[in-house]
Structure 1
Amino acid sequence: MSTADGPSTTCDAVVVGAGPNGLVAATALADAGWDVVLLEAQDEVGGAVRSAEVTAPGFVTDLFSAFYPLAAASPVIRGLDLEQHGLRWSRASDPVGHALPDGRGAVVRADAQETAAGLDAAAPGDGAAWLAMVEQWSRVRDPLLDALFTPFPPVRAATRLLARTRTRGALDLARLAALSVRRLGHERFAGEEARVLLTGNAMHSDLPPDGAGSALYGWLLAMLAQDVGFPVPEGGAGALASALRRRAEAAGVRVRCSAPVSEVLVEHGRATGVRTEDGSRVRARRGVLADVPAPVLYGELLSAVDLPPLLRSDLDRFQWDPATLKVNWALDGPVPWVAPEVRGAGTVHLGADDDGLVDVGADLTVGRMPRRPFLLFGQMTTADPRRSPAGTESAWAYTHLPRALAGDADAVHEQVGRVEAAVEEVAPGFLGAVVGRHVQDPSALEAGDRALSLGALNGGTAALHQQLVLRPTPGPGRPETPVPGLFLAGSSAHPGGGVHGACGWNAALAALRQRGPLGTVRAALARTVWSRVLSDPR
């Protein structure tokens, strides 16, 4: 079939964007028997889950994300049985460590007792405190993950969680969700080593160490490190994306790459398909699911639609997370760390001590370029020996920048120097081992994945004012949008950034549940909620 605009295809649902969330959404719909077309602007699937040889021949670099504790723990990803489609996980001997500027090191080892022993040697009592934290995690793990990854409000998961914790335990978790990671570290631990393990993990988000809510991120990632580790796909991040694609295509999904979408089609007030940049149309009988940032969906793909003025006003207040700078290296040998504790860690945090991490957060908050940047450093060959020739190392580091300075080429170049100086400080001789280097500045990261606005990794800030019913804007906190038949499936939706597939899964469930009598009721309720939110005078 063709139209005046170009060729036309008809299906049950079209999914825009083949990042992890889009791939999961398409697979869930296809598993339910829907005919699904998945459109991706890039020439390969994966979004921010891709790899390539960019530093030197034979050295595999993960171009964006690299370690996947959330994927390993996510009931959504685990339920797809990706191992049946070629995925194999690899793990470093130690999941994550922190190299302090004075040469000390802290590490989460695969065994909790060994982690505790190392922390206790640094500060007596901290080992027992760590094991108490692990015990708390084991008690709430399953219902908490279900609550985090399911559509809001997570009634069943919250009920199970309350049954596990009782009232006092639930209040402790609520306090943890509002606490700063700096306060949590100082409440629980006497030594700096344990504190920086929590704070370094918290800084995977964009929350400052003394910011409300940062404790939950630090605690969650530290406990996942202790539980499932920080695994990587054998052969590169692209292997995870390839397994997701094979799983989707096995379910019947039609994947089309190099097919950027220019518009979501809306007829008689309902989303009915999309138009691609070459003029082709894909008609959708049942729904359109968009694995794109909320500002892109509402501001670009729906630019011709008469959206409620309050929604557009809310989008003007949408806050991105900071920009990102990433530097990749090929090394002719292992990283020469001073601290022996971090030599076997796949992920190493470095650049600042406990107090210095607060300074980094303050710099980013006020728009200054941190003079002592905090780095997340990946030793990929340590985690997966297939990433580079024997005896060498494929490594990278990323750091956050103020968005206002992301386009200042001189400032970014200077920060690259500070990044390398920070590594050299804790690993003297590092620069002499470099045989290849590749820099991804904020613009390059966005060019590689349009969802990464200036390298923003989480689809919008993780701060409390843009979470739950406030994500991405004040509303029901669900994937439904004010346009019937259109669902937000990207990380701008609850529960946010990270490779866990929940945003796509939740959008697929919402699309599936719109059918039938109960679905009609749900759709009516969603429209009522949106109507009330968007018509409420301020």
Structure 2
Amino acid sequence: MPAPELVDAVVVGGGVNGLVAAATLADRGWDVVLLEAHEVGGAVRSQQRGDAVVDLFSAFYPLSAGSPVLQRLELEAHGLRWRRADAVVAQPMSPDDERGAVIEHDPQRTAAGLDAWYPGDGDRWLELVAEWRRLRGPMLDALLGPWPPVGAAARLARAMGVAGAPRMARLLALPATRMGEELFGGEAARQLIVGNSQHADIPPNAAGSGAFGWLLCMLAQDVGFPVPEGGAGELAQALARRARAAGARVEEHVPVESVEVSAGRATGVRTADGREIRARRGVLAALDVELLLGHLVGHSHLPRSAVDDLRRFERDLPTLKVNWVLPHAVPWRASAARRAGTVHVGRTVGPSVRWAADLDSGRTPDDPFLLTGQMATADPTRAPAGHEVLWAYTHLPRALVHADAATLERVAREHVHRVSDVIERYAPGALDGAYDHFVQTPHDLQDADASLVRGALNGGTAQLHQQLVLRPLPGTWGARLPIEGLYLAGASAHPGGGVHGSCGHNAAVAALHDAGLHGRLTAPVRRAARRRLFPDRQVGPPVR
């Protein structure tokens, strides 16, 4: 048996969050090893399929391009190159619509297009953009940074002023449907808010969904919906190069079997091949919280109250993704959709509410809302000239998270034809001649990345009852968990899903703080707070 290795920190999981955590710690001089069970990237990977490059999970990256964390890492110096379609995001308003609502790169052009749908909406759009530009820096720091965001919140409050702060708070708490009605007179602009809100799993008529729609609309107008040239995997590779350049060791194809815990503290990890790696300062896990605590740690190291909280942890919606490689461009009837990289297809405002209600009530919608991507439109290197790499994803009912694997697989497979039917209604003949076509069911997604449990992409629901100090468990406040020295660096932690790297960065910041002088002095306070929040040490029942 080889002697245990000793490092300052072990990072488990080589997705974007894990790579950011490793780079952040290595920048501060820590001896860091990152262990990834497959190849780096997590849900940011691509695959060469014949003469086309297909993104297997996420594909467009407004949160990455706007992320203060990723901007500070200067990934362009490590090979990342962003590409953008001529138009950012489009939404045909009906199968017969020949125009489409659209966010252009130029705010004036976006405004002109919205005015053509409803006079006055263009001016309202430009007012939103002007406000965003004024608030952008402190707003992103407050939304994405460690909780509580004391400094960022103070800067944001100063930027908004006494009168503006409560009004902005109210705006961001609104449902997407209500936000659209208050901001705009026409359906096209309203649908841009609602459509973008559905990148999360909050129903468009539920509180907080408007914040997601507003944020993605403003990022779309600010940085666009860019893609990495050559495939999504190029973003992960640039991050891996950045982490290695800082001094981190990045090891691929090294599954971790367990997180070792002694006297209530994480002391290291054991790999599937028997290696023991001890961590002087901390273990950072860029994983799903149930995978981490329920399997790698084990319930014997958790208080019953934490296990009970973990049982109540709510997944986001299962996802079905369908992919095609086409010998032609997609012939959308709506002209704006032919220029956009991202196209929202299907339900408009009212029907979107019914679609979300179906998903929450356990009914598989007959007419799904689709998020679609035209990858060669955004990045011509993805396919031969004139060809298109098209994907569409949609959600499945929330109740299927708890269904048996066979039922989930059957429902997903049965839903594929509905996805194809929606595309054909809005772009007749679009799928003719497809020379590559494959489906990724929730089961397929989880097989490829264990943190995508049942095909849920965002590490847990983004609804209000599982945000801020309630994410991932009540009272954990983000990265810190009931076990000392163990930090959650994955999307189950605040601020949640999306390729922004903030979950990994926030975990690294917490570990750096706890290892510093102030952290050591305040450790007794943290331990006392942990004992009060999780007062028992009795082992709970297994997590279902």
Cα distance in 2, alignment partners of residues 404 and 184 from structure 1: 28
Question: Which of 123, 128, 147 is 2:118 aligned to?
Answer: 123
Cα distance in 1, alignment partners of residues 28 and 56 from structure 2: 33
| 1:14 to 2:10 alignment | yes
State whether residues 45 and 245 of structure 1, in contact with CA within 8 Å, keep that contact through their aligned partners in structure 2.
yes
Cα distance in 2, alignment partners of residues 99 and 522 from structure 1: 55
Cα distance in 2, alignment partners of residues 434 and 123 from structure 1: 38
Aligned equivalent of 1:497: 497
Cα distance in 2, alignment partners of residues 174 and 531 from structure 1: 33
Question: Which of 159, 172, 180 is 2:175 aligned to?
Answer: 180
Aligned equivalent of 1:416: 416
Residue type of the alignment partner of 1:236:
G
Evaluate the alpha carbon distance shift between residue 116 and residue 485 of structure 1 in structure 2; reply closer, same or farther with a 3 A threshold: same
Cα distance in 2, alignment partners of residues 60 and 364 from structure 1: 32
Residue type of the alignment partner of 2:347:
A
Pairwise CA distance, 1:356 = 1.1
| 1:189 to 2:184 alignment | yes
**Alpha-carbon displacement from aligned partner over 1:186-225 (angstroms, at most 9, x marks no partner):** 1111211111111110000000110110000000000000
Evaluate the alpha carbon distance shift between residue 185 and residue 508 of structure 1 in structure 2; reply closer, same or farther with a 3 A threshold: same
| 1:100 to 2:96 alignment | no
Cα distance in 2, alignment partners of residues 285 and 190 from structure 1: 58
Cα distance in 1, alignment partners of residues 456 and 189 from structure 2: 28
Instruction: Give the count of matched residue pairs.
Output: 530
| 1:450 to 2:450 alignment | yes
Question: Which of 209, 214, 239 is 1:214 aligned to?
Answer: 209
Pairwise CA distance, 1:174 = 1.0
Residue type of the alignment partner of 1:30:
A
Aligned equivalent of 2:428: 428
Question: Which of 141, 146, 151 is 1:156 aligned to?
Answer: 151
Cα distance in 1, alignment partners of residues 450 and 529 from structure 2: 30
Aligned equivalent of 1:226: 221
Aligned equivalent of 2:541: none
Cα distance in 2, alignment partners of residues 475 and 169 from structure 1: 29
- TM-score of the aligned structures, taking structure 2 as reference length: 0.95
Aligned equivalent of 1:68: 61
Pairwise CA distance, 1:455 = 1.3
Aligned equivalent of 2:82: 89
SS at match of 1:25: helix
State whether residues 476 and 529 of structure 1, in contact with CA within 8 Å, keep that contact through their aligned partners in structure 2.
no
Pairwise CA distance, 1:530 = 2.1
State whether residues 95 and 229 of structure 1, in contact with CA within 8 Å, keep that contact through their aligned partners in structure 2.
yes
Cα distance in 2, alignment partners of residues 21 and 291 from structure 1: 6
Pairwise CA distance, 1:269 = 2.2
State whether residues 476 and 526 of structure 1, in contact with CA within 8 Å, keep that contact through their aligned partners in structure 2.
no
Runs (4+) of structure 1 exceeding 6 A deviation are: none
Residue type of the alignment partner of 2:285:
A
Pairwise CA distance, 1:527 = 2.2
State whether residues 286 and 485 of structure 1, in contact with CA within 8 Å, keep that contact through their aligned partners in structure 2.
yes
SS at match of 1:513: helix
Cα distance in 2, alignment partners of residues 514 and 75 from structure 1: 23
Residue type of the alignment partner of 2:68:
P
| 1:339 to 2:334 alignment | yes
Cα distance in 2, alignment partners of residues 26 and 69 from structure 1: 23
Aligned equivalent of 1:36: 32
Indicate the percent of aligned positions where both proteins have the same amino acid: 56
- TM-score of the aligned structures, taking structure 1 as reference length: 0.96
Task: Single out whichever of 298-307 and 454-463 deviates more from structure 2.
Answer: 298-307
**Alpha-carbon displacement from aligned partner over 1:302-345 (angstroms, at most 9, x marks no partner):** 11543111111111110000100000100111000000011110
SS at match of 2:158: helix
Evaluate the alpha carbon distance shift between residue 179 and residue 9 of structure 1 in structure 2; reply closer, same or farther with a 3 A threshold: same
Pairwise CA distance, 1:414 = 2.1
Aligned equivalent of 1:487: 487
Residue type of the alignment partner of 1:22:
G
| 1:24 to 2:20 alignment | yes
| 1:329 to 2:324 alignment | yes
**Alpha-carbon displacement from aligned partner over 1:368-405 (angstroms, at most 9, x marks no partner):** 11111111000000000000000100110100012444
SS at match of 2:52: coil
